[in-house]
């Protein structure tokens, strides 16, 4: 259940009850789980919003419930009497009916917290860059931020403060498409080359969505997931030793910043 589904399910509904079943997902709420339950009860949700891996559920009073989905967090709507799915962590019941909101998270890297005054933009989210599909994404501004960094291009692509949503797989595929070495210094990139690689990343992401038949929000819910797209369409990622689709040289693998990077040493110098 991602943002669009959530919007129809919770917008305008008043919270009648909150049950925290596991304390870990609300650990950022320092006064504790009981206070979290108390603070939310009685509030009414406005339409959910998202930036990067953060989703926030604004309340009509100007505060917000902030959700970091981590690796495995997700929201589901279910009747109050329905059996709990494994790893259900928080239950939210509404005043107007049986259909409640559940936060399910197997690995619990993410979590929920109350963001006072965060309805418009929680301060926890303000430093996160927009993703390439955000209507307010500004390519020229993203390129300027990228070129102002003194780092390698792959690290910059993965930096969620610059641009959000580009994961490891998308970064490798974008660099292959743009024929760019993963360590190319960002400060020596021309504007055109930087724009080319960001645009390539967006195209790879759009391709993954097209073939998976899913929404962009789902990329965040299932960020490590491998849809059928990845099996068929990857040019470099995960293909160590296999021929480059462009020049047939074997794809190489290295570890950059604790992540595997796959590239063609002929095409991407």
Contact residues toward Zn ion (CB under 5 A) are 244, 246-247, 264, 266-267
Q: Which long-range contacts (CB under 8 A, 24 or more apart) does 140-148 make?
A: 140/195, 142/198, 143/191, 143/194, 143/195, 143/198, 146/186, 146/189, 146/194, 146/198, 147/186, 147/187, 147/189, 147/191, 147/194, 148/186, 148/187
Residue placing its CB nearer to Zn ion in the complex, 37 or 172: 172
Q: How far is the CB of 253 from Zn ion (least distance, A)?
A: 14
**Structure letter (DSSP) for residue 84:** P
Residue placing its CB nearer to Zn ion in the complex, 64 or 244: 244
**Structure letter (DSSP) for residue 82:** S
User: What does the block give as tokens for 36?
Assistant: 């979290």
Q: How far is the CB of 268 from Zn ion (least distance, A)?
A: 7
Cβ atoms of 153 and 189 within 8 Å: the answer is yes
Residue placing its CB nearer to Zn ion in the complex, 148 or 247: 247
Residue placing its CB nearer to Zn ion in the complex, 91 or 267: 267
**Residue matched to tokens 């040493």:** 265
Beta-sheet strand order (sheet of 15-20): 15-20, 88-94, 97-105, 73-79
Q: How far is the CB of 266 from Zn ion (least distance, A)?
A: 5
Residue placing its CB nearer to Zn ion in the complex, 85 or 247: 247
């Amino acid at each position: 259940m991602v943002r669009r589904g959530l919007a129809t399910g919770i917008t305008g509904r008043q919270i009648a009850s909150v049950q925290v079943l596991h304390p870990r997902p609300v650990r950022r709420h320092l006064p504790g789980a009981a206070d979290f339950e108390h603070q939310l009860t009685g509030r009414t949700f406005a339409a959910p919003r998202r930036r990067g891996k953060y989703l926030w559920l604004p309340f009509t009073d100007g505060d917000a419930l902030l959700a970091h989905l981590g690796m495995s967090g997700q929201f589901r709507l279910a009747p109050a009497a329905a059996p709990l799915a494994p790893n259900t962590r928080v239950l939210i019941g509404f005043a107007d009916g049986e259909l409640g909101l559940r936060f399910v998270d197997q690995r619990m890297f993410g979590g929920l917290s109350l963001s006072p005054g965060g309805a418009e933009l929680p301060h926890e989210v303000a430093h996160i860059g927009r993703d390439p599909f955000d209507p307010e994404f500004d390519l020229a501004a993203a390129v300027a931020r990228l070129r102002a960094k003194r780092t390698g291009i792959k690290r910059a692509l993965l930096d969620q403060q610059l641009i959000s949503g580009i994961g490891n797989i998308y970064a490798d595929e974008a660099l292959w498409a743009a024929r760019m070495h993963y360590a190319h210094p960002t400060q020596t990139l021309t504007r055109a080359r930087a724009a080319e690689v960001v645009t390539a990343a967006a195209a790879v992401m759009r391709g993954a969505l097209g073939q998976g038949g899913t929404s962009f929000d789902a990329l965040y819910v299932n960020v490590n997931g491998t849809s059928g797209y990845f099996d068929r369409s990857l040019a470099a990622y995960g293909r160590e030793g296999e021929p480059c689709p462009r020049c047939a040289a074997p794809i190489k693998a290295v570890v950059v910043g604790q992540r595997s990077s796959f590239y063609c040493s002929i095409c991407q110098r």
